Structure 1
Amino acid sequence: MTTVTAPRVPARLARFVLRMFRPHLYVTYGTLWVLALESTAVTLTGTPWRPTGATWTRVASVVLALLFLRMLDEQKDLDHDRVHHPDRPLVTGAITAVELRGAMAVLTAVVACLNAARSPAAALLILAALGYATLLAPLERMSATVRDRQLLNLAVTCPVQVLLGVYVYGSLAADGTLAADRRGAVLLALCACVFLHFEFARKTAWRPAPGARLYSADLGPRRCAMVTAAWAAGAVGCQLVLFLPDGAAGLLPCLTAALPAWGLRRFLRARRGPWPLPAATGFVACTYLTLIVRASVPR
């Protein structure tokens, strides 16, 4: 059993974060997601949008929630990683489960305090997302079906992402920035489709590597590729529903569809290797940046 003195824990956690959370990816994703969701939700009401202190509270809360989820996943996947990824920090002892759980408790307290200072409703919404995620660990331990069947596991875990989106939108409604309406549901569906496109893209390949957990193993590579592209089409479709009344400018989201279309074509023609991940990453970034720019440009 590894014994670690308290003064060494922050450095060990920092090394874990830099390796397993990669701030340039996760922080960028969380920031773009929140800014795109908030800015679009506000401008759809006809109100000009500019980031405020509450905006950065939402950004910080979502990024910290993503770190919480990453720490939770590391513990849930421990048995699998012992066999297939023996270099992971929790397997090698570079970090311990106790240290991760302690950090998760601190993260929970931080996001609760950040949001309670502005709105009790916002604090409850972010805690609901973290609480749901925490329940997944015992569920996967009790059910091998949920743990091992990738599509079922996705159906169970995806609501965490939706709940984080509900937190952002709900906190805007709670502080009086907007009145929730059906366009909010379309906007949340848009964000869910963006996430699912990337999620499927990173787990789609013609032949799985040893130990890889791929959706294409269940669906087959061609069918999985079509599902991956369909999620991107869903995101574009949601944007058309929201913005087509703007006239020709409402067709701008169709430009981002070129990335998943190219990814699908390349994957099917290559007949080997994984889905081209730069295309999926670019689609996420371009979609959210387009929404932010649209909301930031005066009309």
Structure 2
Amino acid sequence: MTTVAAHRVPGRLGRFTLRTFRPQIYVTYGVLWVCALEGSAVALTGTPWRPTGATCVRAVSVVLVLLFLRMLDEQKDLEYDRVHHPERPLVTGAISAAELRGAMAVLAVVAAGLNAALSATAVLLVLAAFAHGLLAALLERVSAAVRDRQLLNLAVVCPVQVLLGCYVYGSTAAAGTVTADWRGAVLIVLCVCVFLHFEFARKTAWEAPPGARLYSADLGTGPSVLIVMGLVAGAVACQIVLFAADGGSLWPLSCLPAVLPLWGARRFSTARRGGWPLLPATGFVLGTHLALALQAVALR
């Protein structure tokens, strides 16, 4: 076992983060997700949304949880990466499991401390997301079925998205900014549909190399494509349920990014080879969250 000098650890962690947790993607996603969910919750009360210090705490907390999960994934995927991704930092020794575990502990403590300034409810909800990540990793370690079967693995891992949605909405309600009701559940389902669209899209391809972890390998390409587009339809349906009944003139704005998956589906079907184009899938995620946030700000 190689011992790393303490003064080198921050730099190694920084390089790991920049390589595997690209800020332009993950931080942007986390911030927009919080703004879309919190902003929409406030807008549904009939009040224009404006970011506050609490919004910043929620955004930072979500990003910290996402980084925590990325560090956890690096460890739990080690054996798979040794075969399929030998360039990964943990495989090459650019970072160690001990360094990652130490950083994960710090992330959890920092998130709990930040949310202590909001409410006890916020602390409990954000820690629930950290705890679920650890529980899911434990289940993957002890169960080959959870580890190797893509759909079962998704069923075990995906609830963290629900928990983060509950954290954002629940902490907003606990602050008295909104009154919790059924629309909160629909907002969370909307965000989960947007995330799962990207999750299925990035693991849908015409070919399945041996050992590849693809949903299309388990389900078939056709059914996987139907799920990708069904999740887009689910996200649009949630927006119609939430916003169309109020007669707001801006609600079609948040549905406009759904054009991107249609373009992606056309490109994928025409190519008949390779994987689902990630640009339109990413654009749908970022575009939907951005449009929801702008809609909340522009409410009259």
User: Do they superpose with TM above 0.5?
Assistant: yes
CA offsets per residue over residues 4-52 of structure 1, 9 Å max, x none? 0111100000010010111110000001000000000011011221100
- The alignment's C-alpha RMSD in Å is 1.1
Give the distance between the partners of 2:251 and 2:113, measured in 1 at CA.
Answer: 39
> 1:76-91 residue pairs with structure 2 within 5 A?
76-91=76-91
Residue 254 of structure 1 deviates from its aligned partner by 3.8
Give the distance between the partners of 2:20 and 2:50, measured in 1 at CA.
Answer: 32
After TM superposition, the score normalised by the length of structure 1 is: 0.97
> 1:96-107 residue pairs with structure 2 within 5 A?
96-107=96-107
Indicate conservation of the 8 Å contact 1:9/1:99, yes or no: yes
Aligned to 1:41: 41
Indicate conservation of the 8 Å contact 1:226/1:264, yes or no: no
CA offsets per residue over residues 89-113 of structure 1, 9 Å max, x none? 1011110000000000000000000
Give the distance between the partners of 1:250 and 1:115, measured in 2 at CA.
Answer: 31
Aligned to 1:296: 297
Residue 210 of structure 1 deviates from its aligned partner by 4.9
CA offsets per residue over residues 108-145 of structure 1, 9 Å max, x none? 00000000122111000000110011011221111100
After TM superposition, the score normalised by the length of structure 2 is: 0.97
Unaligned 5+ segments in structure 1 are: none
User: Could you tell which deviates more after superposition, 132-141 or 183-192?
Assistant: 132-141
> 1:182-197 residue pairs with structure 2 within 5 A?
182-197=182-197
Indicate conservation of the 8 Å contact 1:190/1:238, yes or no: yes
Structure 2 counterpart of 1:144, one-letter code: A
Give the distance between the partners of 1:250 and 1:66, measured in 2 at CA.
Answer: 29
Indicate conservation of the 8 Å contact 1:41/1:169, yes or no: yes
Aligned to 1:20: 20
Aligned to 1:168: 168
Residue 270 of structure 1 deviates from its aligned partner by 1.4
Aligned to 2:285: 284
Structure 1 counterpart of 2:18, one-letter code: L
Match of 2:2, SS? coil
Indicate conservation of the 8 Å contact 1:16/1:95, yes or no: yes
Residue 250 of structure 1 deviates from its aligned partner by 3.5
Aligned to 2:128: 128
Give the distance between the partners of 2:191 and 2:88, measured in 1 at CA.
Answer: 30
Structure 2 counterpart of 1:174, one-letter code: A
Aligned to 2:217: 217
Highest RCO, 1 vs 2 (Cα 8 Å, sep ≥ 6):
2
Structure 1 counterpart of 2:62, one-letter code: V
Indicate conservation of the 8 Å contact 1:36/1:292, yes or no: yes
Aligned to 1:269: 270
Structure 1 counterpart of 2:95, one-letter code: I
Give the distance between the partners of 1:190 and 1:290, measured in 2 at CA.
Answer: 13
Aligned to 2:143: 143
Indicate conservation of the 8 Å contact 1:240/1:253, yes or no: no
Residue 208 of structure 1 deviates from its aligned partner by 2.5
User: Is residue 29 from structure 1 mapped to residue 29 from structure 2 by the alignment?
Assistant: yes
Structure 2 counterpart of 1:197, one-letter code: H
CA offsets per residue over residues 66-107 of structure 1, 9 Å max, x none? 000000000110011111111111011110000000000000
Give the distance between the partners of 1:158 and 1:281, measured in 2 at CA.
Answer: 18
Fraction of identical pairs, as percent: 69
Indicate conservation of the 8 Å contact 2:36/2:289, yes or no: yes
Residue 209 of structure 1 deviates from its aligned partner by 3.9
Give the distance between the partners of 1:103 and 1:255, measured in 2 at CA.
Answer: 39
Aligned to 2:110: 110
Unaligned 5+ segments in structure 2 are: none
Give the distance between the partners of 2:254 and 2:34, measured in 1 at CA.
Answer: 18
User: Could you tell which deviates more after superposition, 260-269 or 249-258?
Assistant: 249-258
Indicate conservation of the 8 Å contact 1:68/1:104, yes or no: yes
Match of 1:4, SS? coil
